[in-house]
Amino acid sequence: MTSLDLHDVHITIGGTPIVTGVDLSVPAGRRVGVIGPNGSGKSTLLRAVYRHLPLARGSITVGGEDLLRLKPRRAARLIAVMPQETRSDFDVTVWEMAAIGRTPHKRPFAADTAEDVAIIDDALTRAGVGHLAHRHFATLSGGEKQRVLLARALAQQASLLVLDEPTNHLDVRHQFELLDLVTAAGTTVLAALHDLNLAAAYCDHLYVLRAGRVVAHGPPDEVLTPRLVGEVFGVDAHITTTPDTGAPHLILRPRGATDAPRGPEVE
């Protein structure tokens, strides 16, 4: 397993600062969530971690190695990514999409070995999409694509998983199944999540972003307070405890609501 450390990270896009002075640490084997309202910089920060965006300033180390100095193959053996969206301009099958995860472990243009095939098949099965192996990726629903992308990340066998809004497009059942699978994988995880209850249930530690800056971090039961949720997300929160796990559970409603019906329990 691999640790991840960000120090004084600044990211600028088109001359506009998006992320400013972020320090963040993911100890080996831990699951760390990044939460915040839309536009807070969550996805931008993660894109820098998987080297899709350059840093304006700061450093990122993976297992003590400078991420920006790593060769692409070495970086891909350390970090697997499940992005929000993946376009495929090629007519690839689900199996072929998952097989891309084996690329860092092979010589260029090398054929899949029996071991590769077994790893890919297992990843598809674990992600619940083995029955879709021969379907074309472009024909899948958004939720099915998300699970195939998880299979690709699992097939990569990296020691750090970076998940950008992994439960987007998934129904409630598959949200839980995907995060249970990520937990069972036992790898180090950095995930951007918009659902506060999922973040509380599945993360060991949370970082809260607002306008590109970390405004709070710590265990979910310390971070997710009514005051912070109100200040950062602009809603009132009644916080209870999940009976079986002890994790915080948030019931959210519009600011200042009294007799109005309660809103959804997810942010």
- What is the chain's pLDDT, residue by residue, as a tens digit (267 residues)? 789 999 999 999 999 999 999 999 999 999 999 999 999 999 999 999 999 999 999 999 999 999 999 999 999 999 999 987 666 666 899 999 999 999 999 888 888 899 999 999 999 999 999 999 999 999 998 889 989 999 999 999 999 999 999 988 888 988 998 999 899 888 999 999 999 999 999 999 999 999 999 999 999 999 999 999 999 999 999 999 988 888 899 999 998 776 544 555 544
Q: Is residue 267 part of a domain?
A: no
Partner residues linked to 224 by β-bridges: none
Q: Is residue 59 part of a domain?
A: yes
Domain that holds residue 181: 4-254
Q: To which residue do tokens 């990296």 refer?
A: 158
Q: Is residue 264 part of a domain?
A: no
Q: Is residue 266 part of a domain?
A: no
Q: Is residue 22 part of a domain?
A: yes
In 3-state terms the chain splits into helix, strand, coil percentages (rounded to 5) of 35, 30, 35
Give me the half-sphere count of Cα atoms (radius 13 Å) on the Cβ side of residue 74.
10
Task: Determine contact, residues 33/24, Cβ cutoff 8 Å.
Answer: no
- Residue 117: CATH number of its domain: 3.40.50.300
Q: Distance (Å, rounded) from C-alpha 166 to C-alpha 155?
A: 17
* Cβ-based burial of 251 (10 A; exposed 0-12, middle 13-18, buried ≥19): middle
Q: Distance (Å, rounded) from C-alpha 230 to C-alpha 237?
A: 7
Q: Is residue 155 part of a domain?
A: yes
Number of domains comprising the chain: 1
pLDDT at 99: 96
Neighbours of 119 (CB within 10 A): 21
Amino acid occupying residue 210: R
Q: Is residue 259 part of a domain?
A: no
Q: Is residue 265 part of a domain?
A: no
